[in-house]
Amino acid sequence: MADLQSQIEELWARAGELGPSDVDALEVVNQAIEMLDKGEARVAEIDAETGEVVVHSWLKTAILLLFRLRSIATTELGQFEYADKLPLKRGYQEAGVRVVPGASARWGSFLDRGVILMPSYVNIGARVGAETMVDTWATVGSCAQIGARVHLSGGVGIGGVLEPPNAAPVMVGDDAMIGSRCMVTQGARVGEGAVLGEGTILNPSIPVIDAETGEELGRGSVPAWSVAVGASRRREFPGGEFFMPCVLVLKRLDPGQRHDKAQLEAVLREQQVST
């Protein structure tokens, strides 16, 4: 992998000269994207010791190079016509993934066993953990890292990050439940087992406040095993008083506990595959 990394870095250094005729460069980049697609490599992960996000930016640059090295091609499906540079993922049944018509995931995203895609979208570089449900009209942006047994409810928008290459993607921990129409963007983090109420907006500028103590817990990061909802707080500006968004942590859960409203229905997740 170190060799592949240095080849990608060398290509990135002269990206401006490359184009669709550089088949050797494309061959190298394809190897990196195939690793992402199979889940053998990931764009970002959490360092178990420090708890910080580590971004493997060479994999992000491989994705950017892919856009430079591939040409647009037209695909037709019945009366639908598409023109894109990237192919879609394939081989869902062998991968133990259920994909409902209307869903699409790009090649170079990874869907672990037991994932269910309702009509939704998963972009390149994203990683979705085992048994996670990506509900209708949810979008998982490029390079976003979603844990196992997560529920991304209907219409959730998980932001993507391809530029700049060292920007951290959104990280959602195992067992989290993201309520309908939430927007989680720009490297925001949702801890393991956390529940986000409907419509919550979370980004690294938005303060997360403990409703019990009033303490600001940080920005853009919801603690593990907590229930948090979108709220607003009064702020003074030279132009007057305005209500600005914040996220309020309403309660703490015991590790492993699921909030009553975040319980999962097994029959919806049954895949007849071992996970």
Query: Residue 173 has which token pair?
Result: 């921990």
Q: Is the dihedral of CA 231, 236, 157, 127 positive or negative?
A: negative
DSSP lists the bridge partners of residue 81 as: 76
Give whichever of 65 and 178 is closer to ligand COA, judged by the CB atom: 178
The answer to whether 76 touches 94, Cβ cutoff 8 Å, is no
Interface positions, 215-234, toward ligand COA (CB under 6 A) = 227, 229
Least separation in angstroms between CB 247 and ligand COA: 10
Give whichever of 153 and 186 is closer to ligand COA, judged by the CB atom: 153
- Cis upstream peptide for 164 (omega within 30°): yes
Give the CA angle between residues 21, 24, 27 to the nearest 5°: 110
Amino acid at 45: E
Position 14 contacts ligand COA (CB under 6 A): no
Least separation in angstroms between CB 189 and ligand COA: 18
Give whichever of 68 and 189 is closer to ligand COA, judged by the CB atom: 189
Least separation in angstroms between CB 273 and ligand COA: 23
Q: Which of 141, 147, 173, 179 binds ligand COA (CB under 6 A)?
A: 179
Which ranges of 39-192 does DSSP label H, i.e. alpha helix?
57-69, 92-95
Binding site for ligand COA (CB under 6 A): 135, 153-154, 179-180, 195, 197-198, 227, 229, 250-251, 259, 261-262
